[in-house]
Amino acid sequence: MFVKNQCLGFVSFLIFWEICHLLLNTHTVPSPLETLAYMLTVPGKLALHCGASMLRVLAAIGISLIIGVPAGMLLGVNETCKKLLSPFLYFIYPMPKIAFLPVFMLLFGLGNTSKIILMIWIIIFQMILSVRDGVEQILPVHFKVMNSFCATSGQRYRYLIFPAILPQIFSGLRISIGITLASLFFAENYAATYGIGYYILSAWTKMNYVEMFGGILAIGFLGIILFDLLDSLERFSAPWLKKNAAER
């Protein structure tokens, strides 16, 4: 059913695209069929570019999780940390992070490190804030229950705080995937040989719009793969969320 819905959604998108192509009648918007046919002629090349981007995205999301989840938890449970660090987060959060690109290039060079750090910089604050809010939403009676059983600090994190914030972690991850995929275009537009962002930009400069749209479609497919992976992970690690949704 889920796969059927996804196929239906994709076909509707292709129909909309075809209508735009016919209405605009310009070579900058190629036909979807032409684009798909082109993509089938260069599967290896596209896979290589997608693979490079996927590794960067996964590295950025993984590192953001490793730093962002504990930092968000700390802010959620420790009032002093929250008071000290929240103003800094609110200050940084709305800034256009992409503007820091030259700083990262200068500090971390032109290789993968600066690209991954840029993506981390873009998503980590949102991750920290979601986790912090998740901790704050835990009901006081749940903390009281753990207190009444004389739970240690570690047990409180394992049995209460971590499972309670899992929904926020997953929604944070969904947003992060979308943002990191979109930011690939910037992160991979310098000193890159492989990467779907680089692929799109290179096609753009060559004015090869079929190839460019092929790259854009490939990012879309990457999104589908990552979101599906995340949904499976969520079903496995937080099965009660699925049951809640089914009840609604």
Q: Write out the residues near other proteins by the rule CB under 8 A.
A: 139, 141-142, 144-145, 147-151, 155, 159-160, 163-164, 166, 238, 240, 243-244, 247
Min dist CB 55 to other proteins, Å, is 32
129 vs 135: CA distance, rounded Å = 10
Q: Which is nearer to other proteins, 4 or 243 (CB)?
A: 243
Min dist CB 72 to other proteins, Å, is 18
Q: Which is nearer to other proteins, 6 or 155 (CB)?
A: 155
63 vs 18: CA distance, rounded Å = 39
Contact 131, 157 (CB under 8 A): no
Q: Is 46 exposed, middle or buried (0-12, 13-18, 19+ CB in 10 A)?
A: buried
Min dist CB 163 to other proteins, Å, is 4
Cα distances (angstroms) measured from residue 58 to each of 46, 114, 218, 230: 18, 15, 16, 12
18 vs 8: CA distance, rounded Å = 15
Q: Which is nearer to other proteins, 94 or 140 (CB)?
A: 140
Q: Which is nearer to other proteins, 5 or 152 (CB)?
A: 152
Q: Which is nearer to other proteins, 14 or 238 (CB)?
A: 238
Cα distances (angstroms) measured from residue 69 to each of 76, 165, 168: 10, 9, 10
Min dist CB 8 to other proteins, Å, is 31
Min dist CB 38 to other proteins, Å, is 47
